[in-house]
Amino acid sequence: MGHKVNPIGMRLQVNRTWDSRWYADTKDFGNLLLEDVAIRDFIEKECKQAGVSKVIIERPHKKCRVTIHTARPGVIIGKKGADIETLRKKLAKMTASEVHLNIVEVRKPELDAALVAESIAQQLERRVSFRRAMKRAVQNSMRMGALGIRVNVAGRLGGAEIARTEWYREGRVPLHTLRADIDYATSEAMTPYGIIGIKVWIFKGEIMEHDPSARDRKAQELQDAPGPRGSGGGGRRDRDR
């Protein structure tokens, strides 16, 4: 079962928590949920060049606190904070609440599944070989401290007539282990031959605490830890499906 379901959803309330953190009555819940989706879509579109990893939305009393995790905070903030203020005003028009924007830098983008998947997608759109893009992503993640990583790409790879799936894995990716800290993300590359789907799983270690906020604390400690480690074992595994 662990190989079929989304690894993040499977670990909610075990060692992960939601990206939308608020409570609402039944009559307001649907509208606020759609508002969250619109806010995330807008931020991803406006900040496409900033390397946005995730968007956390909290709603204290009559306020909307939006935290953007990004690999390039300077792109969002802009000169003297001009761009972030413009973004805040645009978001304020989308919600009736007072909007507060926070920017959090992702110091090790090689360990963030969303950023790794987006990087592979951008390389495929520039017609880089899919094997080279996958291998480069795996090597960079292992060098920066990942204990395991798996990358799947599916579609008309290299312009082939028949779509297929290929994957590359190094290290361990224990999807059945609930205490495993596994980051998962997907992305799409728009190529002249059609869409190529990318999936990335990154195993960063184990979280022994049964606490939804444990992963956030561990991620912060990992971001602050200096120096990369050597790449782990494992080998290349490509195959058609």
> Average of pLDDT values for 226-234?
47
Bridge pairing between strands 63-70 and 148-155: unpaired
DSSP string across 112-130: -HHHHHHHHHHHHHTT--H
pLDDT digits (tens, 9 = 90+) for 172-221: 999 999 989 999 999 999 999 999 999 999 999 988 776 666 666 666 66
Kindly state the percentage of the chain with pLDDT values over 90. 62
Q: Mean pLDDT check: name the lowest of 24-33, 179-188, 225-234.
A: 225-234
Residues 112-131: pLDDT tens digits?
999 999 999 999 999 999 99
Helix axes 82-92, 26-46, angle to 10 degrees: 150
pLDDT band at residue 240 using 50, 70 and 90 as cut-offs: very low
Distance in angstroms (rounded) separating the CA atoms of residues 11 and 125: 32
**Tens-digit pLDDT profile for residues 100-112:** 999 999 999 999 9
Its pTM stands at: 0.84
The DSSP bridge partners found for residue 168 are: 151
Give the domains, in start order, of the chain with CATH numbers.
7-105 (3.30.300.20), 109-224 (3.30.1140.32)
